[in-house]
Structure 1
Amino acid sequence: MNVQQLRKDDFYLPILRLLEALGGSASIEEMEQRLVDEFAFNDADLAEAHEKSGTPIILNKMAWARSYLKVAGFLANERRGVWLLTESGRNALSAGEAAIHTGVAAAVREYNARRKAASDASAAEEISPDELSFEAAATTEDVGDWRDELLSALKVMDPTAFERLCQRLLRESGFVKVEVTGKSADGGIDGVGVLRMNLISFQVLFQCKRYAGAVSSPIVRDFRGAMQGRADKGLIITTGSFTADARREATRDGAPAIDLVDGELLCDLLKERQLGVTVREVRSEEVSIDMTFLSTI
């Protein structure tokens, strides 16, 4: 498959269909895995990345498709990482693919018009219903600019600094006794921590990988072998993505489960805890003229 020629539009209908099939909601991981299977993407396809940012092209375009469908009101994501099919989305699905594309294009044009009216045209960055650069455009889900910038910064960090950042993230996420071991020839194990959940605690071994591409299944398999008998769970954190085989290997029946944190989720977690990410709320006004009032004054 020519990944470069793949359009975000190609995912509109499949995303709406799979959400309906899954009962109206799905996690990002569920959506990505279903789309990978439906389009029969192989590991080489999933490993192709934008030259500038190192962001995997296919997963990036899936994210853009979700964003555009959200702009159109066909999807919502009230909880981080969980996407919902709205009533408008169900109606669009019933109306057919042409209606979906028309609805998205109209919503994006309206969104751009509101942004231009709310801010100086020179400062506003538009998203476009046409096929533009996925790295250059902006989106209401913030899939583009800030994540690309953050991932680029993470990928050039010193390896030990990146490990310390992951250590801090785990502490902020409820882990205690988090240690970075940094031992060589230890099956890729970079550290250990204890996750406390009420009265229960789990010993967790973790691995930190500053990848531009996709983590493959052998890496997950080797990590599981290294953690055998030493921990209750495993965790792999990467700035890249995971191949379909790697995700399957992480949840293989009869083997200890390994949780996977890819670049997109890592960005979200750092943003939530404001680690290296500053979030500033911006307010805008929408002004309209009340002609009825003026005509009766």
Structure 2
Amino acid sequence: MSIPDYQTAMLPLLRLAADGKEYRSRDAIECLAQDFALTDEERSEMLPSGTAPLFDNRVGWARTYLKQAGLLTSPKRGVFQITERGKALLAKGPAQINVSTLEQFDEFRAFRERRRDTAAENNAAVPRQAEQESSATQTPEDQLAFAYGRLRSELEFDLLEQVKSVTPVFFERLVIDLLVGMGYGGSRQDAGRAIGKSGDGGIDGIIKEDKLGLDVIYVQAKRWEGTVGRPEIQKFAGALQGQRASKGVFITTSTYSREAVEFANLINTKIILIDGQQLAAMMIDHNVGVSTIGMYELKKIDTDYFEGE
């Protein structure tokens, strides 16, 4: 048979996990390859970019979509497990699971909305059709932009999940790498001596605003799960006032309440709030914790070259 698409792989993948055990992604790929009776030639077929086997990539996307819909969970890196929601869906005896099936879950709809927003933020004129629609309605550039937005959104999600699992010490080092990568803090060595050493009234560290150190920025880094409320921002603002500081950055892996955002915008002290989604996006933009696996070049005819014909 031909290599199944990622939607076709969804139901077999969820059935594989139906026993409630933890499965490694690599083992699941091997099991599904046997279930689909793929040949060695089909197993070795690569993506056009040459970065990964085509079947492995499609199973990976099936796992991603099931996870975004809350049908699978990842107890640790490279491992997945079925959820109660996943078991409940299987109990209904579905003939297939596809994107339309997953649309019934709020988390999945929110995921797709985030993906579309990411594409739009990158100036991509991406139509808001579902993946099933004919590509005839999209230009090749639209399709590339849509695919990039989808990959970017998923990478941000996975990256944030990874950041939430690191130790507090590693998170401090991550913050250092990001701020230095953005041009703050002078050298990494300077920043490393400052971050995590202050411990003064709600301030986690001090970092130079520029390489000359003409001004400093006070940093608060919180690896939280719950929403950061106004009291925490007030505490940070008070600590800044105690240091006669005018600039601060509050970084969290979580989100901020509306009251916290409003308070930060009202006070005279300049406090920048960076939530988990922004943190992941900045890490990608500045190549912190990510690596490039492939590049595509879009080319057009050089009309200047042919003008002298």
TM-score w.r.t. the length of structure 2 is 0.49
- For structure 1, the residue ranges without an aligned partner over 5 or more in a row are 1-49, 79-83, 89-102, 115-126, 128-137, 286-297
Aligned residues: 185
Quick one: which of 211, 214, 218 aligns to 1:205? 218
How far has the Cα of 1:162 moved from its partner?
0.5
Are 1:225 and 2:225 counterparts? no
Deviation at 1:165, TM superposition (A): 1.1
SS at match of 2:266: coil
Relative distance call for 1:105 and 1:163 in structure 2 (3 A) is same
Identity within the alignment, %: 27
Q: Which residue of 2 aligns with 1:266?
A: 279
Larger-gyration structure (1/2): 2
Contact conserved, 2:172 with 2:196, CA < 8 A, in 1? no
Change (3 A) 1:104 1:246: same
Report the residue type matching 2:239 in the other structure: A
Q: How does 1:7-26 map to 2 (within 5 A)?
A: none
Give how far 1:59 is off. Answer: 10
Q: 1:250 aligns with which of 264, 270, 284?
A: 264
- Note the C-alpha offset of 1:282: 4.6
Query: Once the 2 structures are TM-superposed, how far is the Cα of residue 174 of structure 1 from its aligned partner?
Result: 1.7
Give the superposition deviation at 1:111: 5.1
Give yes or no for the alignment of 1:77 onto 2:122. yes
- The structure in which a higher percent of residues are strand is 1
- Whether 1:149 aligns to 2:178 is no
Equivalent-residue separation in structure 1 for 2:271 and 2:292 (angstroms): 31
Q: 5+ residue gaps in structure 2?
A: 1-69, 75-104, 139-145, 299-309
Contact 2:264 2:270 in 1 (8 A): yes
Q: Which letter maps to 1:77?
A: N
Distance 1:225 1:76, change over 3 A: closer
Question: More relative contact order in 1 or in 2 (CA 8 Å, sep 6+)?
Answer: 1
Q: Deviations over 1:195-243 (max 9, x none)?
A: 128x883211101111223211110010110111422201011111111
**C-alpha distance in 1 between matches for 2:184 and 2:224:** 24
Give 1:154 shift: 0.9
Q: Is the 8 A contact 2:222 2:251 kept in 1?
A: yes
Q: Are 1:205 and 1:234, in contact at CA under 8 Å, matched by a contact in 2? A: yes
Question: Which of these residues, 105, 113, 123, is aligned with residue 65 of structure 1?
Answer: 113
Match of 2:24 in 1: none
Say whether the 8 Å CA contact 1:217–1:249 is kept in structure 2: yes
**Alpha-carbon distance, 1:145 to partner:** 2.5
Deviation of 1:263 after TM superposition, in Å, equals 1.2
- Which residues in structure 2 correspond to 1:1-297 (within 5 Å)? 64-65=112-113, 67-68=115-116, 75=120, 77-78=122-123, 104-105=128-129, 109-110=133-134, 140-142=149-151, 144-176=153-185, 177-178=190-191, 179-182=194-197, 184=199, 186-196=200-210, 201-230=214-243, 231-253=245-267, 255-283=268-296
> 2:270 is matched by which residue type in structure 1?
A
- Contact 2:115–2:153 (Cα < 8 Å) also in 1: no
CA distance in 1 between counterparts of 2:109 and 2:285 reads: 23
Cα gap change, 1:144 to 1:174, in 2 (>3 Å): closer
Note closer, same or farther for the CA distance 1:58–1:201 as it changes in structure 2 (3 Å cut).
farther
Given that 1:202 and 1:232 are in contact with CA atoms closer than 8 Å, whether structure 2 keeps it comes out as no
Distance 1:258 1:141, change over 3 A: farther
- 8 A contact 1:68–1:108 mirrored in 2: no
